[in-house]
Amino acid sequence: MMTSNAFTKAEVAAQAQSDQQKLGTAAASCPLMEKEEKYRIEVLVVGEDDEPLGDIAVVLRRASGEELKKVTDDAGHCAFEGLDQAQYELSLVELDADCWTEIKREVLLGDAGKSLEAASWPLPVVIEESKEIVHIIKQGECVSKLAEHYGFIPNTIWHYPKNAELRKKRHDDLYILNPEDEVVIPAKRIKNISITENCKTTLRRIGVPERLRIRFLRYDESPRAGTQYLLSVKSRNGAMIPTINGKTDQGGFVDQCLPPSASHVQIILQQEQHLECCEFNIGYVDPIDTFSGIHSRLNNLGFNYDEDCDESNAIIKSFQASNGLTPTGTPDSSLLLILQKKFGS
């Protein structure tokens, strides 16, 4: 694969080619001698951490109902060109009304607000009304991931009345669901904001990013504070995410913002004599009142369960004994309470 610099140079060379002339012809459209003054509107979409968000659909509608559509680039930016002086409506059509808000608007000064070519307004398309969806949870999914995927704030989905039973069943923990759980996604509400030409608006997407907190302890349970780490993220939607350098805090925590779609994290810790690599599947811990939920928590706490050896009883006894409980080998409410407290969820 080329370096990005090499590909960028090739792209610059491509941009020097004509966008009017067809390949292999000498003909081109006659440029208009006089053009009416046109304007532009710029849009920037950011998350709650003020980092830009790409791949967000933005629609600009004029009074006659026709629409222009754009998608933000990885800098969170898109622009509508060739606009007349008029009042328009702007919307993030893939996001629920509560999920975004305008945080800033500024006038574009001088030529920054001007545009050359007139916009081409396609005929309006009839859009189907948004409907409720029932989503069946797969392993690795949680409400936060669903919210990012469907365009909601997690709490909008979680507190939807039709999810009341699920909330009760899962102890009101929207991050820990079981495969085959059914989550009702409400119908999306569309919001529009009024906007005029020659300005730039900044919109904030609420509910993104999420926060990852993983604590590293020594065998004596003292925190591994001040340890350098390198954190790499893989996202379930395939987005490329920058690797993060950091240091664990006083409590031994790695505490980082991640997109909700993060599915796998790799953390390399720098020790004196070696590098230690840990990998985590995000969102794969099952509810604590399930067999798999108990064992995944015990695993993470160092009580490693091997399915092939069927040491379930022994592992549970070991955990009970080391936490002052009677080593029965059977999960009970006392064990679940301590396990939840030590694991954190």
Partner 1 sequence: MLQLNQKQTDALMAGQWQAAMRSAIEHCRRYFQAVVAHLTDAELLQHLEHCFARGRAHGFTSQRDAYRFLNLALEFGWDFDTRIRHSWMRKRLLDPRLATPSERLEWLVKRCIHRLQIEEENLNKLRAFAPGEVPVNIYGPNVREDNEYNPVPSILLFENYLPMKHSRCLQADEFISSDVNSKESEHYADDEEQPLLVKKFKRSPRHLQSGMR
- Contact residues for partner 1, defined by CB under 8 A: 1-4, 6-11, 13-15, 17-26, 54, 57, 68-71, 73-74, 120, 122, 138-140, 228, 230, 232, 234, 236-243, 245, 263-264, 266, 268, 270, 273-277, 279-281, 284
Contact of 327 with 317, CB cutoff 8 Å? yes
| Angle formed by the axes of helices 333-343 and 291-300, nearest 10° | 50
Minimum Å distance from CB 264 to partner 1? 7
Nearest Cα residue to 281 out of 259, 298, 302, 266: 266
Q: Would you say 23 or 109 has its CB closer to partner 1? A: 23
Q: Would you say 57 or 217 has its CB closer to partner 1? A: 57
Q: Would you say 275 or 337 has its CB closer to partner 1? A: 275
Minimum Å distance from CB 271 to partner 1? 9
Q: Would you say 54 or 329 has its CB closer to partner 1? A: 54
Phi, psi (rounded to 5 degrees) for 305: -105, 130
Amino acid at 66: E
Longest dimension (CA), the chain: 90
Minimum Å distance from CB 93 to partner 1? 9
Q: Would you say 160 or 175 has its CB closer to partner 1? A: 175
Minimum Å distance from CB 23 to partner 1? 4
Q: Would you say 130 or 232 has its CB closer to partner 1? A: 232
> Using CA of residue 139, residue 144, residue 147, residue 149, what is the dihedral sign?
negative
Minimum Å distance from CB 294 to partner 1? 18
Q: Would you say 284 or 343 has its CB closer to partner 1? A: 284
| Angle formed by the axes of helices 312-322 and 291-300, nearest 10° | 60
Minimum Å distance from CB 111 to partner 1? 21
Q: Would you say 13 or 109 has its CB closer to partner 1? A: 13
Minimum Å distance from CB 304 to partner 1? 13
CA 338 – CA 323 distance, rounded (Å): 8
Phi, psi (rounded to 5 degrees) for 314: -65, -40
Q: Which residue has the tokens 């020659």?
A: 198
Minimum Å distance from CB 53 to partner 1? 13
* CA angle (236 as vertex; 235, 238 as ends), nearest 5: 65
Q: Would you say 120 or 250 has its CB closer to partner 1? A: 120
* CB crowding 276-313: b at 16 or more within 10 Å, else e: eeeebebbebbbbeeeebbbbbbebeebebeeeeeebe
CA 133 – CA 186 distance, rounded (Å): 7
CA 65 – CA 62 distance, rounded (Å): 6
Minimum Å distance from CB 189 to partner 1? 19
Q: Who contacts 339 (Cβ-Cβ below 8 Å, separation ≥6)? A: 288, 294, 297, 298, 301, 319
Q: What are 66's two structure tokens?
A: 């026709």
